[in-house]
Amino acid sequence: MDISTVNALSYEDFVNVFGNVVEKCPVVSAAVWSMRPFKNLAALEAAISEFIDALPETGKEGILRCHPDLAGRELQSGTLTRESREEQARAGLDALSSAEASRVSLLNEAYKTRFGFPFVICARTNDKETILQQLTERSRNQAAAERARGIDEVKRICHVRLQSLVLAEPPNKL
Amino acid sequence: MDISTVNALSYEDFVNVFGNVVEKCPVVSAAVWSMRPFKNLAALEAAISEFIDALPETGKEGILRCHPDLAGRELQSGTLTRESREEQARAGLDALSSAEASRVSLLNEAYKTRFGFPFVICARTNDKETILQQLTERSRNQAAAERARGIDEVKRICHVRLQSLVLAEPPNKL
């Protein structure tokens, strides 16, 4: 899919393609459709990033709260979005030992109790060990720093998903 | 469900209950969870309204673009959200004559081409005749006025959905 194809999409098709680059927040891609034409894929990614940055802090927390727990109930019950399922599986989070699963569950709950949003990390660019280590370490952060860190991870996830969507459809001229 | 019950919900339960009061925008309820405790249901509704008002114009357009066409493809194919399906059915939009259906389809397409977002109206508080009349009349509006009008309708839909969620679960003390 080249950028001229992207720029020619109706808002309905655009949201169908890019609606989950920010997990369960189709309103983000629906909003940035207003900013087309995009010069290239990086410009689309920048528009998404700027839209997120312009949200009030509550809105950023809202985005984080639309994310599933890592190795959580939705992974077990098969109700993750396709993108999250693939990302968690690639990182090995669908094959935790029973001891690891218990530990992640306890850490997830403690994190959510402390911050009021879930631990978000780009699973594609981290392996299981790093994710578990980060979950432990980041639990000790201050709330504002951790909210900012979570949003950085949302943007990393968005980058990976955008690349994946575009590379999936040759010719890739983006 | 009384307001103390609402205020005691985890963000996950809160989004499960209220996630679609703004169509396909769970991020809105996920965001206003930060503002609890709410004094009453009206305070929750006001928080949602203020969150929407604080969005940039692109964000408001994004919310409108998350809405389905009235009497459109998603109604035909059964892929509407439960709330939208019930609202469109109550207004009689699932039982249009073939002539009415053709007219609505043409008007919807013309509206979307002109404004870049779909025609949004609170179907619960309008009947079929009024909806068709409004679709024709509002198509002639200026874009900024029509965007504002669409957002007003989003808030009316939100009001009806909030009432419905709360009344569905006695005792209603909200």
Give the integer Cα–Cα distance in Å for B20 and B165: 11
User: Phi and psi of B75, rounded to 5°?
Assistant: -65, -45
- CB contacts of B29 in chain A (<8 Å) are 62
CATH for A69-145 is 1.10.3330.10
Active site residue B159: no
Domain boundaries, chain B: 3-55, 62-163
- A55 Cα to chain B: minimum distance (Å): 7
Cross-chain CB nearest to B35 (options A11, A28, A58): A58
- Mean pLDDT for B15-19 is 97
A147-167, pLDDT tens digit by residue?
Answer: 999 999 999 999 999 999 987
B64-86, pLDDT tens digit by residue?
Answer: 999 999 999 999 899 999 999 99
pLDDT at A172: 44
Q: Which of A23, A33, A67, A166 is catalytic?
A: A67
B30:A65 CB<8 A: yes
A14-49, pLDDT tens digit by residue?
Answer: 999 999 999 999 999 999 999 999 999 999 999 999
DSSP states along chain A: --HHHHHH--HHHHHHHHTTSSTT-HHHHHHHGGGPPPSSHHHHHHHHHHHHHTS-HHHHHHHHHTSPPTTSHHHHHT-S-HHHHHHHHHTTTTS--HHHHHHHHHHHHHHHHHHSS-----GGGS-HHHHHHHHHHHTTS-HHHHHHHHHHHHHHHHHHHHHHHHHTSSS---
- Report the residue of chain B nearest A29, measured CA to CA: B62
The answer to whether residue B173 scores a pLDDT higher than 60 is no
CATH of B62-163 among 1.10.3330.10, 3.40.50.720, 3.40.50.800, 3.40.190.10: 1.10.3330.10
Q: What part of B 112-151 touches A (C-beta under 8 Å)? A: 112, 116-117
| ipTM of the complex, rounded to two decimals | 0.94
- CB contacts of A63 in chain B (<8 Å) are 27, 30
- Report the residue of chain A nearest B29, measured CA to CA: A62
- CB contacts of B26 in chain A (<8 Å) are 24-25, 66
Q: What part of B 25-54 touches A (C-beta under 8 Å)? A: 25-35, 51, 54
B85-142, pLDDT tens digit by residue?
Answer: 999 999 999 999 999 999 999 999 999 999 999 999 999 999 999 999 999 999 999 9
